[in-house]
Amino acid sequence: MSIACSMGIMAYNEEANIGRMLRAVVSQRLTTVNLTEILVVASGCTDRTESVVHDWTRRDPRIRLIVQAQREGKASAVNQFLPLAREKIVVVCSADLVPEAGAIEELVAPFADPAVGMTTGRPVPVNDPGTFMGFAAHLLWELHHQINLRHFKAGEMIAFRNIFERIPYCTAVDEASIEPVIRGQGYEVRYVPAAVVYNKGPLTVADYLRQRRRIFAGHLAVRHTLGYTVSTMSGWRVLRVLLPRLNWRPRPFLWTWGVAALELYGRFLGRQDYSKRRDQRAWQIAKTTKDLTSRV
């Protein structure tokens, strides 16, 4: 018996990648999973995102376009999607990703176990690791992977049981806000490293800090408002997986501590943002993370 699921893709000015994303989604290899609908929520787009999605609605009847006239943040887009989703299992992600051919099958198959309430896949950056910022992207997501093997941390593409009506509109970290809701209902959460989804890390220090400060401020808000601490907030936990994997050659060694310094500074800025109650819902886009390369 197949597991039916709905998919929600959240998009803001994603004309560079939305076509590649939809091509990857409609071409998924599915055996035990039935992806019955694909809803793209386009929020205040000022580029050709809506036009590209319209073209895809004529190619695949499962695809529907939901338009928000103004950009209100990803949480608002997720809340537009949830009541429209017909299935009890939903997959949610942003449009700046490309899932591997079997990613949705891997991500949704665990829901055959009624104890499972949420799953998350493994993000893999397409950045060139030979550059400092590419090295930073690969290091960040490798540490995310290693921590996830021990302590669940949702990110990038997730699936969960559609058992609630909405997430907090004010959150800047939708995945982290969903985790405690699912756990609070007594469900298990599960990391599925075989569900690979490709993303693109920031190409500039400014974009890296813009992204990391927003995420840390969002995690602080989740901890203070929902009483839930995501696993990657622990600096000691990060160090425990980092130190055994240190590359002692001069360049990667120096780059590793350069990335660590950037992360600490980003967290410092995020703490300031949170203390000042800076609105992070419709965050400033890290433009260099868009348009995944042909390496995908």
Say if CB 82 and CB 91 are below 8 A apart.
no
Residue 200 confidence (pLDDT):
94
Residue 294 confidence (pLDDT):
44
Residue 284 lies in a domain: no
Residue 295 lies in a domain: no
Domain residue limits at 114: 3-279
Residue 289 lies in a domain: no
Beta strand segments in the chain, E: 3-11, 33-43, 63-68, 89-94, 98-99, 116-125, 157-161, 188-199
- CATH code of residue 159: 3.90.550.10
Q: CA separation (Å) from 234 to 148, 248, 280, 282?
A: 13, 24, 22, 26
| Separation of alpha carbons 76 and 170, rounded Å | 8
Residue 72 confidence (pLDDT):
85
CB neighbour class for 62 (10 Å; exposed up to 12, middle 13-18, buried from 19): middle
Number of domains the chain contains: 1
In terms of DSSP bridges, do strands 89-94 and 157-161 run parallel, antiparallel, or are they unpaired? antiparallel
CA 132 to chain centre: 23
Residue 208 lies in a domain: yes
Low-confidence residues in the chain, pLDDT < 70:
279-287, 289-296
Residue 165 confidence (pLDDT):
82
Residue 285 lies in a domain: no
Residue 68 lies in a domain: yes
Residue 67 lies in a domain: yes
Residue 284 confidence (pLDDT):
61
Residue 288 lies in a domain: no
Give the global pTM: 0.91
